[in-house]
């Protein structure tokens, strides 16, 4: 998998989160790909995540702390190559403005419990929210079964 590094992430202020670990602990707990995305704000290569093609009923959780993030009921195929959702579960994520590629402002999405970088949210999604939560599949796990709404 190819990863690009972002400009940083909210995980830099680790003390602000319920789940905090040292860098060495994160490296032990996560795969190299998960670490690159969740802790260093990397981006997985488009089309590389099996979660983009996941169609079962269930819940998408943070790969860093297992917090439920998205219900499969809000997932849709955006055609971008990344798992996309219309909305997160209540109190699952936090966002912050960041300066991205070519100094363009974008909104980063991170896990509200551990601060792990998940992806970005864009204003080009379907109704009813009009939002597209474009997530890195490697930053999440999938739990099949009934999903929270």
pLDDT of residue 106: 85
CA 61 from chain centre, in angstroms, equals 9
Q: What is the CATH number of the domain that holds 104?
A: 2.170.150.20
| Cα-based angle 141, 8, 104 (whole degrees, multiple of 5) | 105
pLDDT of residue 89: 98
pLDDT of residue 102: 64
> Of residues 46 and 2, which shows the higher confidence score?
46
Active site residues: 134
pLDDT of residue 97: 86
pLDDT of residue 7: 38
What is the tens place of the pLDDT at every residue in 64-109?
999 999 999 999 999 999 999 999 999 999 999 876 666 667 899 9
Give the Cα separation of 117 and 5 in Å (integer). 11
pLDDT of residue 98: 74
User: Total domain count for the chain?
Assistant: 1
What is the tens place of the pLDDT at every residue in 6-54?
434 444 445 589 999 999 999 999 999 999 999 999 999 999 999 999 9
Mapping DSSP to helix (H, G, I), strand (E, B) and coil, where does residue 59 land?
Answer: strand
Range of the structural domain that residue 31 is part of:
3-143
Tell whether 148 is covered by a domain.
no
Tell whether 34 is covered by a domain.
yes
């Amino acid at each position: 998998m190819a990863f690009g590094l972002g400009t940083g992430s909210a995980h830099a202020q680790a003390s602000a989160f319920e789940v905090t670990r040292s860098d060495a602990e994160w490296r032990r707990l996560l795969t190299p790909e998960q670490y690159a995305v969740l802790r260093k704000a990397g981006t997985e290569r488009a089309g590389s995540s099996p979660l983009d093609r996941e169609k079962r009923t269930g819940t998408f959780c943070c790969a860093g702390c297992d917090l439920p993030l998205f219900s499969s009921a809000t997932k849709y195929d955006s055609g971008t190559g990344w798992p996309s959702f219309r909305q997160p579960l209540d109190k699952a994520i936090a966002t912050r403005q960041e300066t991205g590629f070519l100094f363009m402002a974008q909104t980063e999405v991170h896990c509200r419990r551990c601060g792990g970088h998940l992806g970005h949210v864009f204003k080009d999604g379907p109704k009813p929210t009009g939002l597209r939560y474009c997530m890195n599949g490697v930053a999440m796990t999938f739990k099949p079964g009934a999903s929270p709404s």
